[in-house]
Chain A
């Protein structure tokens, strides 16, 4: 990347102003969350905005007082589930979307339409049925069950990735076939390296799901407190009996979840910029 000194541009100035204004709006609730997580006074509501005293106890207590809320354990559970979910989902999504985008076979349109319709089904309505299916498979209340729930039907999310594959020029495939590659090699050697943005997108989206879902996990885990994920665990902190004492810890817990995800995003960002722009389209 070469950086040339550019002339002062009026439109760029306007953009900087708009971006700054938007950033303030977007970042404010986050700042409030962070501020609350350092608040010394307990309670979910205060009649004033800025805390009277600040403390890091909300963070340290998450890790030292694990008798009631085992935050570290939930954190690890969630991490395990998230890693497996994102690997499986990504594979399923990429296989489905690549097949539907670039391979030609009988019934392709039909499958696409069926997939389109099925993706519309509100997932949480089927929770109970899914629970009993998993129970019949002997998997209830386990982390494996949770991974399957989050990634099992991932193939239905093929749209966005298919849209992306549609834009990769076909000449690349043809050239590879001339070189003697089979369809499988084309996928792995040619298409996948070009598809970093969409891979990254899929990875991120599926990685996040386990951190934020609290409905499915409560149906699957029931009373198995040790297998709770972080979202469900945090939710226990804000029940009627606990919210006064644990609200600030709840905020601290939420901040700690946000950190790895933010880092992941920042790290993955470079693929957006470098991975694609220099890509195959030049040829």
Chain B
């Protein structure tokens, strides 16, 4: 609201040049001598207008209905074929509308910046000051405004490859984009909250499946994260302990498992652990009956966690050894002077320091495990499948379940709805943990 208020107040207070820049962007710059900056603004405005009228508005116009023209077929007697006149493609309309909206928002930010600059220039002139020239502007981008320089590229990347698809996916959950409404042959349209109603109320089987899979997803994420964290840290401490030789060799051994692509190692694992796999052949030599590592529900759940330790511990080892070595030596020095024993040093210095530094890592890991598609999908495929669940198995996570829903049934709407729920859960959880955790509160403790 402050922006809107400022918008009018600045207009009222602005001189004629500032007022012109409300209509012609950059006027407040190039009319006051900042030629390059002003032309940049003007160029952005021109390209925006070209984009909007050539493409953007056409898409936005179709957004409320997501298209009305279905495909038409006309019989061509001479060629003996139907000729198809392609209709609207609801999916592309939705995607490009979202894109247009984002571009409009970005333009508004630049527009706002344009007015602010024009007004500030006016004030500077009135005070009799000298305006920044291009060189000084650029210089400030590398000093006091370094954050702008450094964040621009990452932001563009994130907006294009995360935010835009994210909004698109969220909106799909409110449409009927499913098996019988697939573009380009068919249109889909808005249905409001119906998909969410289906998951939670209308279908007891789906609701039961959702609750069951959600529970397992959380259990899995907890064990997968902390087993890796603790074992990885212990491993790193052991390897980094003074007096342990061949540090390089030990690290290399564990790192080799990272080097083999995950889809290969997981596929090998699933072959090794299959009912007829090498592990059971080996156990057979030892006279132990075949163990259903992957086909018994409980064993399969344990197996995926154990295999995940195999997959993940080397990563934790790497990241923690990096940090362990970065612990300020004087902290240890003073502890030694105070006469602390090794255990005390660990609990007083090493552990708090590690937790402080790695809380973000833990959160990323936890959420990463909630969404750990690869390990589950490649190892068990979600199996053993169960008739208790709707189109799912006992090791299925929410992500693998929704992947199956899209691949087998083309239920994109349902999958998006589930996606939103996963997203909401992980986002809420990590926001709370992250903002409560010591690592944000005491961000500067160790600085």
Contacts and interface: CB of A to CB of B under 8 A. Distances in A.
B208 to A, nearest CB: 23
Given A26-B254, A166-B357, A262 B259 contact: yes
A155 B322 contact: no
B243 interface: yes
Interface in A30-44: 30, 32-33, 44
Interface residues of A, number: 106
A163 B443 CA distance: 9
B151 to A, nearest CB: 6
B257 A133 contact: no
B446 A166 contact: yes
Interface stretch (A17-25, A54-62, A67-75, A220-228): A17-25
Contacts of B96: 136
Contacts of B258: 208, 261, 265
A227 to B, nearest CB: 18
B151 A111 contact: yes
A217 to B, nearest CB: 12
Contacts of B318: 201, 204, 272
Interface string B404-447: 00000000000110010011001100110011000100011011
Contacts, number: 291
| Secondary structure type dominating chain A contacts | helix
Contacts of A136: 96, 99
Interface residues of B, number: 104
Contact of A49 (B169, B281, B364): B281
B360 A159 contact: yes
Interface string A95-134: 1101101110100100101011111111011101110110
Give the top 7 A-B pairs by smallest Cβ distance, nearest first: A155-B154, A126-B165, A197-B322, A159-B360, A152-B161, A261-B259, A129-B165
20 contacts: A29-B268, A47-B276, A49-B282, A95-B151, A111-B151, A117-B430, A120-B423, A125-B402, A126-B168, A132-B91, A133-B95, A133-B161, A133-B164, A154-B154, A167-B353, A170-B447, A257-B261, A265-B259, A276-B322, A282-B329
Interface of B: 91-92, 95-96, 99, 139, 142-144, 146-147, 149-151, 153-155, 157-158, 160-166, 168-169, 235, 238-239, 241, 243-244, 247-248, 250-265, 267-269, 271-272, 276-278, 281-282, 310, 314, 318-319, 321-323, 325-326, 328-330, 353, 357-361, 363-364, 367, 371, 373, 399, 402-403, 415-416, 419, 422-423, 426-427, 430-431, 434-435, 439, 443-444, 446-447
